[in-house]
Amino acid sequence: MRSTTLDTSPYVELNRDLWRGLRDATPLPLTDDELAGMRSLGDAISLEEVADIYLPLSRLINLQVAAHQALHTTTTQFLREPSIRTPFVIGIAGSVAVGKSTTARILQALLARWPDHPRVDLVTTDGFLLPTAELKRRNLLKRKGFPESYDRRGLLRFLVDVKSGRPEVRAPVYSHLSYDIVPGEHQLVRQPDILLLEGLNVLQTGPSLTVSDFFDFSIYVNARIGDLRSWYVDRFLTLRRTAFARRDSHFHRYASLDDAEARTIATELWTEINEPNLVENIAPTRARATLVLQKGADHSIHRVRLRKL
Ligand SMILES: Nc1ncnc2c1ncn2[C@@H]1O[C@H](COP(=O)(O)OP(=O)(O)O)[C@@H](O)[C@H]1O
Ligand SMILES: CC(C)(COP(=O)(O)O)[C@@H](O)C(=O)NCCC(=O)O
């Protein structure tokens, strides 16, 4: 008797060639110049990478937005409520220095080119970090980026307000320059079609509702821990000549370090703060992501894992 094997894995793994084939006829609406403005420091990305990796992803999300809207309408019809459009929310998670910001900015640009969802907003969770004075008070200065260093209630409230269709919702703003929340400054979110929420801990769950409960799609940007450490240290070395060189930078004292001193300090910051946060809090959330983008040592994405169940 012939036995049929049923594939019961919740994931499908695709190498770059197979994933690229799923682009179908999606056009590439970006130029090299536009791409240059989206690249984060140290994050090498080419138009080829956008075409191979991000266009199939943009097509998949476009299909899911339509399906999500239809599903939402069935619930409002059942409740005999008028159907309102709620934003499709995408979470983007991963380690410090993995390149989440670049992924988020490219997706924002590509998704906004679809005529059925042109309004795409991007919010980063660093705006919900507790102000430095409060971190000091709670003895959390060395825990920046850990779950307890955020105003988690405020972040959840923000997302629920956006998702429920409030005309205008405000998110606080963080500055890498002052290393603190910018007093009185806000980013306004006004009923976008899609909201991208990017941050270290966005896929975390807890005993009550968390932001990940409101995601319609989620992406985890993954890389080997050794690669992440060297990307973090290399970026720190470059920042000496850019951000740290500014007098108003919180890290201005690091601008004059030589290479060896800078490597020592960056490695300490990595080993004492960012690596433990990755191992304890961030990496364990990977299994939950709808999509995992696997990066190689050269930053390029060579494998994609999609959750199909
Ligand atoms: N100390 C810093 N000064 C200025 N910019 C920084 C500093 N640290 C990180 N950045 C920038 O902030 C952004 C977010 O960085 P990070 O949280 O490490 O996420 P990712 O590298 O995954 O995008 C990146 O664009 C990075 O270049
Ligand atoms: C600001 C961050 C916590 C990232 O915040 P996110 O937007 O991911 O919530 C991180 O980039 C950071 O500054 N970590 C502190 C340790 C360090 O300086 O590397």
Ligand 2 pocket check for 173: Cβ under 6 Å: no
Is residue 208 one of the residues assigned to a domain? yes
Establish whether residue 95 lines the binding site of ligand 2, counting it when its CB lies within 6 angstroms of any ligand atom.
Answer: no
- Nearest listed ligand to the Cα of residue 274: 2
State whether residue 295 is helix, strand or coil.
Answer: strand
Rounded-to-integer distance, Cα 218 and Cα 189, Å: 20
- Whether the Cβ atoms of residue 236 and residue 262 lie closer than 8 Å to each other: yes
Ligand 1 centroid–CA 269 distance in Å is 14
**Strand order across the beta sheet in which 301-307 lies:** 11-15, 301-307, 291-295, 217-222, 88-94, 194-198, 120-124
Q: Is the residue at 6 inside a domain?
A: no
pLDDT, residue 306, reads: 98
* Residue 95 in marked binding region: yes
> 277: Cβ below 6 Å to ligand 2?
no
Query: Does 297 fall in a domain?
Result: yes
What pLDDT does 28 receive?
84
- What is the predicted pLDDT for the residue at 2? 54
Give, in order, the Cα–Cα distances in Å from 296 to each of 57, 223, 302: 19, 7, 7
Residue 282 near ligand 1, beta carbon < 6 Å: no
Residue 71 in any domain: the answer is: yes
What CATH code is carried by the domain that includes residue 44?
3.40.50.300
- 101 annotated as ligand-binding: yes
Which ligand places an atom closest to the C-alpha of 239?
1
Looking at ligand 1, which residue's alpha carbon is closest to its atom 21? 97
Whether ipTM tops 0.90, in short, is yes
Count of domains in the chain? 1
The reported pLDDT for the residue numbered 33 is: 85
Nearest alpha-carbon partner for 27 in 149, 143, 110, 146: 110
Helix axes 100-111, 55-78, angle to 10 degrees: 70
Residue 7, domain member (yes or no): no
Identify the residue whose C-alpha is closest to ligand 1 atom 9. 176
CB of residue 273 inside a 6 A radius of ligand 2? yes
Q: Would residue 1 count as lying in a domain?
A: no
Does any domain span residue 35? yes
pLDDT tens sequence for the chain (309 residues): 455 678 889 999 999 999 999 988 888 888 888 888 887 777 778 999 999 999 999 999 999 999 999 999 999 999 999 888 899 999 999 999 999 999 999 999 999 999 999 999 999 999 999 999 999 999 999 999 999 999 999 999 999 999 999 999 999 999 999 999 999 999 999 999 999 999 999 999 988 999 999 999 999 999 999 999 999 999 999 999 999 999 999 999 999 999 999 999 999 999 999 999 999 999 999 999 999 999 999 999 999 999 998
Q: In the prediction, which pLDDT does 34 show?
A: 86
Tell the residue nearest (CA) to atom 11 of ligand 2. Answer: 96
pLDDT of residue 3: 54
Is position 53 within any domain? yes
User: What atom of ligand 1 comes closest to residue 236's alpha carbon?
Assistant: 1
Question: By residue range, what is the domain housing residue 44?
Answer: 12-77+85-307
